[in-house]
Homo-oligomer: A and B are copies of this chain.
Amino acid sequence: MNYPEPITKLIDSYMLLPGIGRKTATRMAFYTLSMDKDDVKEFSDNLMSAKTDLRSCAICGNITTEETCSICRDTNRDQSTILVVEQPKDILSIDDMNAYNGLYHVLGGVLSPVDGIGPENLNIKLLLNRLRENKAVKELIIATNATPDGEATAQYLAKLVKPAGIKVTRLARGLAVGSDIEYADEMTLKSAVLGRREI
């Protein structure tokens, strides 16, 4: 026996999501059948809306429903610092901690020779234009992930931007707060020792 087509196709759609295999997708599809009809309708509409109503901010690449995003439009923010992230979702993580009030720039990924992603595939040209046109920017904080590709991308950006006299910094690496030295990996420990601070 095969499932009827509508449920098979819904299972296939759920399987497109990251980390969702056939078993979980099947469970989700059957759960969908038991959901309130209005909720499913809204779910269906929200999928299309997210795909059609959202665009990239013309300045920083963040997601927005307008021409520019709410952060770029906010003149109360510190205009002298730009923090560079890989993805729009990283902005919320950083902004939520209330320790940074400057601007952002979204690369849309990292350099990855293995995946064939070069500088031309990232939002780098827009960043250089921003720095050229806006002389108020004094510091560029590179907050790519602490992965080899994130590291390489940070080095690449630093080389591009430093000659313009802009200070380029990178998020500190070291022990995660609350973590044990015993369980830290070698590279993390090394960074923690090299980046030690006087107390």
Q: Which residues from chain A sit less than 8 Å from chain B, CB to CB?
A: 1-7, 9-10, 12-13, 16-19, 23-24, 26-33, 35, 37, 39-51, 53-54, 63-65, 70-71, 87-89, 91-92, 95-96, 182-183
Contacts and interface: CB of A to CB of B under 8 A. Distances in A.
A32 B43 CA distance: 12
A2 B3 CA distance: 41
A33 B49 contact: no
Nearest to A64: B4
Nearest to A31: B18
B54 A48 contact: no
A56 to B, nearest CB: 10
A40 B47 contact: yes
Q: Which of A1, A28, A49 has the most CB of B within 10 A?
A: A1
Contacts of A96: 1
Given A1-B71, A91-B1, A50 B16 contact: no
Contacts of A89: 26-27, 30
Contacts of A182: 23, 26-27
Given A33-B54, A41-B48, 19 more contacts: A1-B96, A4-B54, A6-B54, A9-B42, A9-B50, A10-B46, A12-B46, A13-B46, A16-B35, A17-B31, A17-B32, A18-B27, A18-B28, A18-B31, A19-B27, A23-B183, A27-B182, A32-B50, A40-B50
